[in-house]
Copies of this chain bind each other. A is one copy, B any other.
Amino acid sequence: MRLLKSWVSSANSKFTEFPLNNLPYGVFSTTKLEKRCGIAIGDMILDCRAVEEAGLIKFSAGTMFKDPFWNNLMKLERNEWTRFRKEITLLLSLDTNPEKLINMLIPQSKVELHIPFVVSEFTDFWSCKYHAINAGTMLRGAENALPLNWNHMPIGYNGRASSVIVSGTNFNRPWGQLKRPNDTLPFLAPSKRFDFELEIGAIVGSKSNGPLTVQQADDIIFGYVLLNDWSARDIQAWEGQPLGPFQAKATATTISPWIVTKEALIPLQCGPPTRENELLDHLKDCGPMFYDISLTVSLTPQKGKPSIITQTNYKEMYYSSAQQIAHHSSSGCPMRVGDLIGSGTISGSQKSERGSMLELSWGGKEPLNLTNGGTRSFLEDLDTVTFHGKGTKEDFTIGFGNCTGTLLPALKYPY
């Protein structure tokens, strides 16, 4: 596949993250336009409500873009997702007369971006082996790093949808019940070991009822976003046994503003990793459901410059989102339109490829030197963490844009 040419000239560069090949879906507003669905193309956004109101796209199911979220399109059959994408591609292609559409383009520099879909439920997995081994080694030693179940199924837990926020939304350092190894009693205090987790989230676009095969699970994935599963390591350490993470992960989960569709990612597909043991039939690999997407994390202190602290790749996953959803549905658990499925922290084999401060500073024992000055074990107040993700082919790029958030100081606790 090669770069598709558009009459939006900024979309025709090898380096733009939003060429005609990408067309990611977001929600935006301007000082004049209320919140609505839009599609990124080059450095512009196509106003989907305007396109629909002008009769340039139609759906037999009725109006699709009166609401400021993408769930209405997600609810349609998969072939409607494809048809819509083809029609938008045609409207923006170099062969189309742009006359009717030019007024429906808004510069990205002029908009505010909002959460692109209503999150039904959020599930977070733990499916990258490098990360699981790093975390397990710190907790249980290298000999027992991976629990026995890890190589046989994607281990996950239900997260909290109410705290999913869009990139750029800042939040306050959480309070929590803490007890360090030498404390006699627990106490309530702001978390001192607050962390990020570099993840990618898959968005479920069709509901299901009953177990899904891996192929069926892949078929219901609508698209992907970058996802920061902010984590309070000290809250997690005290609350986590025996029922798993709860308040440690409930303060905020940040997603990038653009849904990159699964169709746009096809050129970046790759096969599964080498497996230590054969998976059970219902979880077996059945196609290239992993993706070659390079990921970077930068940390910017309050008055400092950004330092890149991690560079890794989404293809480091051990289980695909499709395998995660197949497992998720194995008990008969219904999946819903708008479910968000976190990959789990993505780390590579090298120290510079680790996807959390926990790993980068080895639990705080080896503080990380920031290339632009300072050191970090965990995040400090007013630190900004920014994820970036993109895949490149010979003459085009498919990008996610940024996923960023600033940790504000703790507020007073209301008691």
In Å, the complex CA distance between A148 and B241 comes to: 9
Q: Is the CB of B246 within 8 A of A280?
A: no
In Å, the complex CA distance between A336 and B320 comes to: 31
Q: At the interface, yes or no: A149 with Cβ under 8 Å from chain B?
A: yes
Q: Is the CB of A331 within 8 A of B280?
A: no
For A245, list chain B residues within 8 Å (CB): 243-244
Query: In the complex, how many angstroms separate the beta carbon of A86 from the nearest chain B beta carbon?
Result: 30
For A126, list chain B residues within 8 Å (CB): 243
Contact A213:B414 (CB < 8 A) given known A246-B156, A333-B160, A334-B162: yes
Q: At the interface, yes or no: A399 with Cβ under 8 Å from chain B?
A: no
Query: In the complex, how many angstroms separate the beta carbon of A203 from the nearest chain B beta carbon?
Result: 15
Q: At the interface, yes or no: A282 with Cβ under 8 Å from chain B?
A: yes
Interface string of A226-255 (1 = CB under 8 A from B): 000000100100111111111110111000
For A153, list chain B residues within 8 Å (CB): 177, 186, 239
In Å, the complex CA distance between A212 and B413 comes to: 9
Q: Is the CB of A250 within 8 A of B331?
A: yes
Query: In the complex, how many angstroms separate the beta carbon of A221 from the nearest chain B beta carbon?
Result: 17
Query: In the complex, how many angstroms separate the beta carbon of A128 from the nearest chain B beta carbon?
Result: 14
Q: Oligomeric state, in number of copies?
A: 2
Contact A212:B162 (CB < 8 A) given known A239-B155, A280-B188, A281-B188: no
Query: In the complex, how many angstroms separate the beta carbon of A190 from the nearest chain B beta carbon?
Result: 10
Q: Is the CB of B242 within 8 A of A244?
A: yes
Q: Is the CB of A157 within 8 A of B244?
A: yes
Query: In the complex, how many angstroms separate the beta carbon of A312 from the nearest chain B beta carbon?
Result: 22
Q: Is the CB of B149 within 8 A of A241?
A: yes
In Å, the complex CA distance between A290 and B152 comes to: 43
Interface string of A327-341 (1 = CB under 8 A from B): 110111111100100
Q: At the interface, yes or no: A161 with Cβ under 8 Å from chain B?
A: yes
Q: At the interface, yes or no: A158 with Cβ under 8 Å from chain B?
A: yes
Query: In the complex, how many angstroms separate the beta carbon of A148 from the nearest chain B beta carbon?
Result: 8
Interface string of A264-295 (1 = CB under 8 A from B): 00000000000001001110000000000000
Q: Is the CB of A247 within 8 A of B282?
A: no
Q: Which of the candidate stretches A2-10, A90-98, A168-176 sits at the interface with the other chain?
A: A168-176
In Å, the complex CA distance between A160 and B122 comes to: 9
User: Which residues of chain A in 302-343 are interfacial with respect to chain B, using CB atoms and an 8 Å cutoff?
Assistant: 327-328, 330-336, 339
For A219, list chain B residues within 8 Å (CB): none
For A187, list chain B residues within 8 Å (CB): 280
Q: Is the CB of B239 within 8 A of A162?
A: no
Contact A177:B241 (CB < 8 A) given known A246-B157, A331-B251: no
Q: At the interface, yes or no: A163 with Cβ under 8 Å from chain B?
A: yes
Q: At the interface, yes or no: A159 with Cβ under 8 Å from chain B?
A: yes
Q: At the interface, yes or no: A210 with Cβ under 8 Å from chain B?
A: yes
For A155, list chain B residues within 8 Å (CB): 239, 242-243, 246
Q: Is the CB of B244 within 8 A of A243?
A: yes
In Å, the complex CA distance between A158 and B157 comes to: 8
Contact A157:B157 (CB < 8 A) given known A211-B175, A239-B149, A331-B174: yes
Q: At the interface, yes or no: A411 with Cβ under 8 Å from chain B?
A: yes
Interface string of A361-374 (1 = CB under 8 A from B): 00000000000000
Query: Which 9 pairs of residues, A with B, have the shortest CB-CB distance?
Result: A244-B244, A250-B333, A158-B158, A247-B331, A174-B331, A243-B244, A157-B243, A162-B334, A250-B331
Chosen A-B contacts, 29 in total, with CB atoms closer than 8 Å, are A121-B161, A121-B162, A147-B241, A149-B238, A155-B239, A155-B243, A155-B246, A156-B243, A157-B243, A157-B244, A158-B158, A158-B159, A163-B334, A172-B332, A174-B330, A174-B332, A185-B277, A188-B280, A188-B282, A210-B411, A210-B414, A211-B415, A243-B244, A244-B245, A246-B328, A247-B327, A247-B331, A250-B333, A251-B331
Known pairs A153-B177, A156-B243, A163-B334 / 14 extra A-B pairs, C-beta < 8 Å? A120-B162, A149-B186, A149-B241, A152-B185, A158-B159, A158-B246, A162-B336, A188-B280, A188-B282, A211-B414, A235-B331, A247-B330, A247-B331, A250-B333
